[in-house]
Amino acid sequence: MLIGDGVLAATGTAWKQQRRLLQSQFTGTGMRRYEQRIVGAARTTAGRWNGYARTGQTVDVAREMRRFALDAIWRSLTGHPLDDGTEHELAAVAAVAAALPTLPAGATDAEGAVAADLARIDAVARHAVGAARDGAAGPDGPGLLHVLVEAAAERPEYTDRLIRDELVTLLVAGHETTASTLTWLYLLLDRHPAAREQALAAGAEGSAQRRQAIQALVHETLRLYPSAWILPRHATEDDTLAGYAVEAGTDILTCPYLTHRDPGLWPDPERFAPRRFLAPDGRPAHPGAYFPFGIGARACLGLQFALRETTILLEHLLPAHIPAFSSVPTKAAYGITVRPDGPTPATLEAPGA
């Protein structure tokens, strides 16, 4: 209903073709095209936080993280910074995603319940696709959306509808998950302030050592609150799994959230310990022990993008600001992502203040 036939929902030959087209955009080489766009979004956020700190304004950290992540993916898709009007309209993406678990069972009734939000999303997508088709590159140059539009010239399956579906898929997968990860990280640092100090003390600004330490903060947050907390898989043939017979055609749910908290894999699994990801033997060797972005052929395309944008933002924000939360959510909400169940109001303090 939300992402249509985008790569996240596609199957079979269609999925293989769509993934092949997008894959090159998210390799190490492809990521270099988007590095400065992510930096631009991070600098915009850092400037906004400097203003909040000067005025003492209370901000919702979760909303700030969504705003940054949406700006980063929008710049990468279109070449344009996120403007206030587009941000307002694309709030409908989060609204539909949050509503999905509680919608009516009937497809028609479910779609009707969020019809207004879907219409807003479609309008933004039509405008963006039209601009890309007209060759209207943004100040950062053409974006990923131009790759999809150019594909349509040679591949008839890339209709306006499929381009819209891929655009919305990338918006959903490219900002809601990152925003949740960053929000959880700040809530964890509020309880474990020494972890922030240790990361910054690992090396000078811009050093590989500091970047690795910040990445360890991100990975440990993803261990506790993985981007994809539950994943459906379909058995294509008979098999035996942990002693249980699995018949072909069976749907199976895997749960990174539980695997990452398994004491048989992770010592003291409920403890926030970023150093697990810095020590050579700090994490389990089995590849199935840690898979916050999924695993196998259908692992998330945007893994490298997500890690780069979280790291770049934290390199800008961690040295300058410490959120002082006036209240924090007491539990998690389990929907498309696992996110804090409630607002995250805070004022921004200077380190050592």
Per residue of the chain (353 residues), give pLDDT as tens.
888 999 988 988 999 999 999 988 888 777 888 899 999 999 999 999 999 999 999 999 999 999 999 999 999 999 999 999 999 999 988 888 888 878 888 888 888 999 999 999 999 999 999 998 887 777 888 889 999 999 998 899 999 999 999 999 998 888 888 999 999 999 999 999 999 999 999 999 999 999 999 999 999 999 999 988 999 888 999 999 889 999 999 999 999 999 999 999 999 999 999 999 999 888 999 989 999 999 888 888 888 899 999 999 999 999 999 999 999 998 999 888 899 999 999 999 999 76
**Annotated domain spans of the chain:** 12-338
CA dist., res. 223 & res. 266, Å (int)? 10
Residues 6+ apart with CB under 8 A from 315: 42, 205, 206, 210, 211, 214
CA 280/CA 67 separation, integer angstroms: 35
The pTM (predicted TM-score) of the whole model is 0.93
CA distance linking residue 17 with residue 2, whole number of Å: 21
Contact by Cβ (8 Å): 114, 122: no
Please give the helix or strand (H or E) that residue 97 lies within, else none.
Answer: helix 84-99
The residues, any chain, with a CB within 8 Å of residue 300's CB and separated by 6 or more, are 173, 227, 228, 293, 294, 306
The phi and psi torsions of 254 (rounded to 5 degrees) equal: -105, 150
d(CA 3, CA 8): 8
Instruction: Kindly report the CATH number that applies to the domain delimited by 12-338.
Output: 1.10.630.10
